């Protein structure tokens, strides 16, 4: 499975509830690093989406105190909403 396929598989399975957000964000970051190392890319629109998702993954927190800091961390709900919008807009 290529890194691109791994990312799509991971997103699909996260949406289906087969991964928790901590595991999803960790694996997503790992697969994106491998994609960059292998110089793999999606379409330009998808890459913009995936870069933003990567930023969200790096800044994900389940800690309520951290989430209270404005514009610093993303919650699981933020990530799920972002993915839902991408699916509706057919970005991925």
pLDDT value at residue 91: 64
Tokens of 31: 């697969």
> Sign of dihedral through CA atoms 55, 4, 38, 33?
positive
Q: Which of 31, 28, 36 is nearest to 53 (CA)?
A: 28
Q: Which domains does the chain have, with CATH numbers?
A: 3-88 (1.20.120)
- Residues 10, 31: contact at Cβ < 8 Å? yes
**Can you give the pTM of this predicted structure?**
0.88
pLDDT digits (tens, 9 = 90+) for 27-76: 999 999 998 888 878 888 888 999 999 999 999 999 999 999 999 999 99
Which pLDDT value is given to residue 89? 67
């Amino acid at each position: 499975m290529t890194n691109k396929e791994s990312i799509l598989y991971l997103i699909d399975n996260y949406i289906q509830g087969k991964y928790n957000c901590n595991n999803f964000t960790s694996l997503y970051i790992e697969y994106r690093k491998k994609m960059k190392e292998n110089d793999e890319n999606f379409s330009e629109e998808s890459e913009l989406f995936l870069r933003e998702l990567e930023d969200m993954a790096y800044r994900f927190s389940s800690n309520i105190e951290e989430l209270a800091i404005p514009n610093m961390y993303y919650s699981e709900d933020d990530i799920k909403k972002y993915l839902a919008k991408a699916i509706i807009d057919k970005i991925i």
